[in-house]
Structure 1
Amino acid sequence: MDYCKLTPYRQKIYDRIREYERNGFFDRDVEDDPPSPILTPDKADYLDEKPFAKLKNRIANKMAVAFFEKQIKRGSFVISGVEGLENYRKTEGGAIITCNHFSIYDNYIVYRAIRNELPKGKQLYKVIREGNYTGFKGLFGFFFRHCNTLPLSSNTETMIKFLKSVKILLARGEKILIYPEQSMWWNYEKPRPMKSGAFKIAAKNRVPVIPSFITMEETDKTDADGANVMACKITFLPAIYPKEEFSEKDNAEYLKEENYNAWKKLYESVYNKSLVYGD
């Protein structure tokens, strides 16, 4: 990537990522997202129970696939490969899928890799930030609200509803994608230290965690921000199961540590260098 060719906004984001990495602020947002409304329980429909919710869900998913496939044809983002699907296939029933978060496209990369593996009637559910659900209008706002999304909330009652809904979804065998790094860091290659939420959910519901990690390679094409378009390869790593002899708290820590180590090992293997922050 040629820093000088980036737009001023992307230069600012790039510099902010470097600053946050040096200071260990790995979960902080780097984008200039505006303040967004709080998601209240009456606005959260995690299980698509409101009138016309299921219809909107079907329409939104079809529109999203069409949109992202069009972006692939245009070369806006490139999927260069899928590895480790056998690890995904070995895991039956409900599970948490983790992935690194560096792009608006990464959740579609995960979905596209497993869509033909999902049993009939099953979907990939995606945990998203509150502001994505409440603060976006237009096409992306429609996607964020109706494409099997599970928004977090700063409202305690909404989060109780969220956790109850997640329990129902996992019990019925759904896969839920969670970004344990929390915030999106644009085109950031390294695995970051993780928050515990995804692993607490897995431990509480006694379901496995399927780590996935997307590695990137620059292409010759540049995007509207002056950055090289990345060719992305997703790898599914062996599932990590809660241990029967561990407490819920210990299992959450165990799952988080094992997930991070799996990501780190893959990163160092693919990029042929040690994982070092602030270099």
Structure 2
Amino acid sequence: MGLTKVNVIKSHSSLGFQKDLIKRATSVVDLSNMRGVRFCAEMKDFLNLKKNLCNLEPGISFLGAGDFHHLSLHFLDKLFLTPQLLLFDHHSDMMESPPGTISCGSWVRLAIREHRIKKCIVVGVNPRDEAFTGQKTGLNASFFPADLPHEHKVAGVMKEIFDSPEPVYISIDKDVLLFGEAFTNWDQGSMKLDELLDFLSIIKKAAKIVGADICGEWPAPADEIFHSMEDRKNIMKNQEANLKILNALEKIFAHQQKNSVK
């Protein structure tokens, strides 16, 4: 399992306080002092940001708060192939953004339109999300809303993956999880962590995975002295979820590496 690169991008302070997660990292990049990239960035600023990540290859990457989910594009661009994107997220991230910009809410739309991904499979999306309700058309995407039973989600996602020959890139925003299973600064869904881990266990045998990232950290103050009891509790709960997700993803890559040498 140790052959897989684990990248931790400290785009926000919370990841820096997850000491057990940091110990598992292959690379740690501190972007906490960068300005103009949280939530929404002008393309010139985003391209400059990508230069700071140029040495990070796709593996298992922790991006920080969901406000930085658009960093997923860096790893998609490094693949040199066009994968399916399997997105676990309470939001589709398919909004329009102003010309010349990219945001944590628009990056999937851009990835589809610019053919950086073959298609997007969104799991756990809010049933009221505009993309899911049909207000965003012309996007090659499939949706499995939060209120769909877990077994139906699994069956539908597996069919989507099997129906396409492309490998899969996994992106996880912990806001897909039930409040209490993780803590984020966005409205959260209803998926249990065990259900997410069940997905990852099944996917291990169903598709070639070429990379994964995780976001959705709690926005605690940068200086630990200002952390409330709630901040400390939420950071530790998120670290617990991150480590379980990391273990599940490492099993996927270990399974693939074992099969590749047979």
TM-score by length of structure 1 reads: 0.34
- The higher relative CO (CA closer than 8 Å, separation ≥ 6) is in 1
TM-score, normalised with respect to structure 2: 0.36
Which entry has the higher C-alpha Rg, 1 or 2?
1
Q: Which has the higher helix share?
A: 1
